[in-house]
Amino acid sequence: MRSPVSSQVYLSILNGFQRFVAEQAEDKSVSQTTIRQWLKDRTLAWPFHIVTDRARLVDRFLDWRVNNRALANNPFADLRAEYGQRTTTPVVRALLNANPEAALEALRPLPRFGSFLGPVMREHVGLMHAMGYRYNTQAERLLRLDRFLQGRPDLSGHPLTELIREWTNTRSTPQHALDCHQAGRLLSSVLSRIDPTVERIPSDKRIWRLAKERYRQPYIFSEQDVLGLLETALSFPSPQSPLRPQTLHIMLVLAYCAGLRIGEVVRLNVGDFNIDDRVIEVHGTKFFKSRRLPLSDSAVAALQSYLTARKGAGANLLRDAWVRVYTIFVMPSSRAACSPGTARVSILSRASRTWSPISGTKISTRRWCTSPLPRSCFSKLASDFACGAPDSCSL
Return the active site residues: 261, 286
- At 274 the three-state DSSP class reads strand
Angle ∠(190,195,198) on CA atoms, nearest 5: 75
36-48 core/surface letters (b: 16 or more CB in 10 A; e: else)? bbbbeebeeeeee
At 282, the amino acid letter reads V
Distance between CA atoms of 131 and 235, rounded to whole angstroms?
A: 51
The values of phi and psi at residue 342, to 5°, are -65, -45
Q: Are 75 and 35 in contact (CB under 8 A)?
A: yes
Query: Given the DSSP bridges, would you call strands 291-294 and 279-282 parallel, antiparallel or unpaired?
Result: antiparallel
Distance between CA atoms of 278 and 8, rounded to whole angstroms?
A: 52
How many other β-carbons are positioned within 10 Å of the β-carbon of residue 177? 21
Closest CA to 268 of 233, 226, 306: 306
Angle ∠(323,325,329) on CA atoms, nearest 5: 80
Q: Are 307 and 317 in contact (CB under 8 A)?
A: yes
The beta-strand segments (E) located in the chain are 273-274, 279-282, 291-294
Closest CA to 307 of 299, 295, 296, 315: 315
Distance between CA atoms of 234 and 228, rounded to whole angstroms?
A: 10
- For the chain, first and last CA: distance in Å? 40
The DSSP bridge partners found for residue 282 are 291
Beta carbons within 8 Å of 155's beta carbon, 6+ residues apart: 149, 162, 163, 166
User: Which CA distances in Å does 366 have to 95, 193, 241?
Assistant: 39, 47, 27
The values of phi and psi at residue 294, to 5°, are -75, 155
